[in-house]
Structure 1
Amino acid sequence: MPKITSSADLRNNYNDISNFCHQYKEPVFITKNGKGDLAVMSIDAYEELTARFELYSSLKAGLDDVAAGRTVPAKKFLAELEARYPELAEVEK
């Protein structure tokens, strides 16, 4: 269940809200005049969320490439990669 608090509570109980965000890694929703206004979260939770968005974006781009036929066989790709970076082939051996 989301934690919802008022902007006055944020002002008066900042440390408690900060501790909650860090402990539970969940946002706190802040209301202003009884309506939703902000979502507050720890920096760690924010960075994890944005990293997840970046990953999803990369996965979607890859799936879009597959759907559009912009792919090459794995063996061909690996051969091109080893030709470009010979030190990678040495690591495998």
Structure 2
Amino acid sequence: MSSTIIKPSAAIRQNYNDISNLAKETHSPIFLTKNGEGDLVVMDIETYDQREKQLELREKLVEIEERRQAGIKDTPARDFLSELREIYNK
């Protein structure tokens, strides 16, 4: 993972294309500050979508682990893989 990218909020008003290109090239969030304080996070849509998919997958895995620990009958592996593929291919 690359280092944290921090820019003043004025940068997005003055250099939108540069910020957009930076986000797309680095696939990293760009943290914008306002008056020296953190204000917004900007990222390209592809990176955002990928992060959302990863979060969904993690949530599903946590749900399955919680069910396992509670003694609830396991989901067959084939069904589990099918669910993961469905989440990932959204």
| Aligned residue pairs, count | 77
RMSD: 2.1
Does 1 or 2 have the higher relative contact order (CA < 8 Å, sep 6+)?
2
Q: Where in structure 1 are there 5+ consecutive unaligned residues?
A: 82-93
Counterpart residue number, 2:5: 3
- Which is richer in helix? 1
**Alignment partner of 2:58 out of 56, 64, 68:** 56
Q: Which one-letter code corresponds to 1:71 in the other structure?
A: K
In structure 2, how many angstroms separate the alpha carbons of the residues matched to 1:48 and 1:2?
Answer: 18
Structure 1 moving runs of 4+ over 6 Å: none
Residue 37 (structure 1) shift: 0.4
Residue 16 (structure 1) shift: 0.5
Q: Percent identity?
A: 38
Residue 10 (structure 1) shift: 1.0
Normalization by structure 1: what TM-score?
A: 0.76
| Larger Rg belongs to | 1
Q: Which one-letter code corresponds to 1:50 in the other structure?
A: E
Normalization by structure 2: what TM-score?
A: 0.78
CA contact (8 A) 2:68 2:74 kept: no
In structure 2, how many angstroms separate the alpha carbons of the residues matched to 1:62 and 1:16?
Answer: 42
